[in-house]
Structure 1
């Protein structure tokens, strides 16, 4: 019997090589030859799955969310909490730092590639909606200041974390300092429960 080939697995393997190169050298270092060498396969093999460099980059963009979702689940354990989700967005270890570098490289590419930009908008919308839903649930449970609008606060929190992530990447904010600032902001919107007399 002929061997069954998992084509999606092969595409994922190529996309992982793209991400490794992008983390190390940016997207300017990504070529069909470099990706083939990084993945340990032939250039023809890469071309079998992707007709062009642009096709390869566009596909690789669709794989960026996976690592983030794994980090969120690993940090949250039994249930996703807003704080855990926000901290998972920070480049606090080598893998998260590489993911942030790759995402930033693709973000620059998205400015001129509508398809990649669409992937970014979709991912951001899903993230924003998740944060808003978590905040709405916290408000319903009485854990959030009642005047906080979950949808607006989700946008603000993601903007805060985006800026902090860049600050950590550039080295003018430590991971601990970034977490402390997230905690400070969350403390301002968290409802203080009064002890009954």
Structure 2
């Protein structure tokens, strides 16, 4: 029998290679040929799955965003990885656990952060890619707003609070990735803002 090919796995293998290149060299250096070499496959195979560089970029962006959202969903499901309190996590712990998935606190999140920055610059002149970014950002804001709403934060509009928190984390991430701010200080700044929104809490990475 002919060997069955897992096409989703092949596409993800190629997208992972693109992300490694984007994180280390920037998207300007990325081409179908370079990605093929990084993935250890032929250029023809890359072209079989992606007709253009933009198609490959869009899929790679989906891989990054799906991974972030899966971790956020898992964190919001009880394994916060953030709060050190006993019993069920508080609203603050819950929201914090979601947001720390966006800060470059380890190798994986740092790589995703570099790739996300590269995509933002690249998508500025690519309407199709920009639309994907807007859709993913809107999903994240809605998910975070739901968590804030469930926490019953008095006086805070959940949608606006979610937008402000994501903007804060984006800015902290950029400063951490560029070496302007140590990752621990970025995390401390996030905790300070969460204290002002929810009230003081311990919270650890």
Q: What TM-score do you get using the length of structure 2 for normalisation?
A: 0.85
In terms of Rg, which structure is larger? 1
Deviation digits for residues 60-87 of structure 1 (CA, Å, limit 9, x no counterpart): 2221113323543565562551011111
Check 1:36–1:119 CA distance in 2 against 1; reply closer, same or farther (3 A cut). same
Q: Number of paired residues?
A: 187
Q: Which moved more, 1:75-84 or 1:57-66?
A: 75-84
- Residue 50 of structure 1 aligns with which residue? 50
Unaligned runs of 5+ in 1: 193-197
Deviation digits for residues 32-52 of structure 1 (CA, Å, limit 9, x no counterpart): 111111011111111111112
- Residue 152 of structure 1 aligns with which residue? 160
- Residue 30 of structure 1 aligns with which residue? 30
Q: What TM-score do you get using the length of structure 1 for normalisation?
A: 0.88
Q: Which of structures 1 and 2 has the larger relative contact order (alpha carbons within 8 angstroms, sep 6+)?
A: 2
The ranges of structure 1 where at least 4 consecutive aligned residues each deviate by more than 2 angstroms after the TM superposition are: 69-80
Q: Distance in 2 between matches of 1:72 and 1:30?
A: 29
1:191 is displaced (CA, Å) by 5.3
Q: Distance in 2 between matches of 1:93 and 1:74?
A: 17
Unaligned runs of 5+ in 2: 81-93, 201-205
- Residue 183 of structure 2 aligns with which residue? 175
1:9 is displaced (CA, Å) by 1.4
Q: Is it true that 1:162 corresponds to 2:170 in the alignment?
A: yes
Q: Distance in 2 between matches of 1:77 and 1:126?
A: 17
1:1-197 alignment, distance < 5 Å = 1-72=1-72, 78-79=78-79, 81-139=94-152, 144=153, 146-190=154-198
Q: Distance in 2 between matches of 1:154 and 1:163?
A: 14
Q: Which moved more, 1:152-161 or 1:64-73?
A: 64-73
